Amino acid sequence: MNIKNSNLIVLISTVLLVVGFIISIVNTMVLVSPTEHIEGSWKEISWEYEKSENANFDKKISNAIKTEICKELIIHEAEVWNFLSGGNLELTSDTNNETLSWTMKGRGNILELSHKTNKIEHYNIQVLNNDKMVLYFSTDIQAKGIVKMTFEKIKEDNYAQKI
């Protein structure tokens, strides 16, 4: 191998190393962790059964059944979930305000909520992006099924105007 070929190999290796370094920097700046994605305010849009033991059961969950399900949960009847960066979750509705602790488990696909009474609940995160969050959890109420909760991200400008 002559000097020209070895210089060319060194040059190509250096360029590849620099390109790889730039790509890794861009990835860390662009990619957002699930923890960062979930932070902010989310409005509850719907509750429905994703899966049920009863095939003929209506997927939409009525307010009466939702109230019954919520009696067993620490989330109760919150309409807005505000995930704060310190691990606190503010749940607000027309009649109730409550603060819980939250953390992500697994590969960021499990949301763990804990109440000051040490009660802990787990929710499977099916969708989490800039605009939408979908959580699943199991219930034994009524049809015994998997409940799908859908949330819409509240844009900061809209949320500030409502307050």
The span from the CA of 120 to the CA of 113, in Å, is: 6
* 76 in the same domain as 10: no
* 136 in the same domain as 124: yes
Q: What is the pLDDT of residue 7?
A: 76
Which residues of the chain, if any, have pLDDT below 50?
A: 28-29, 159-160
Q: What is the pLDDT of residue 29?
A: 47
Instruction: Quote the distance between the C-alpha of residue 160 and its chain's center.
Output: 22
* 72 in the same domain as 24: no
* 138 in the same domain as 111: yes
Query: What type of residue is 25?
Result: I
Q: What is the pLDDT of residue 135?
A: 93
* 26 in the same domain as 77: no
Count of domains for the chain: 2
CB 79 within 8 A of CB 92: yes
* 105 in the same domain as 81: yes
Domain containing 16 equals: 1-31
CB 61 within 8 A of CB 49: yes
Q: What is the pLDDT of residue 157?
A: 63
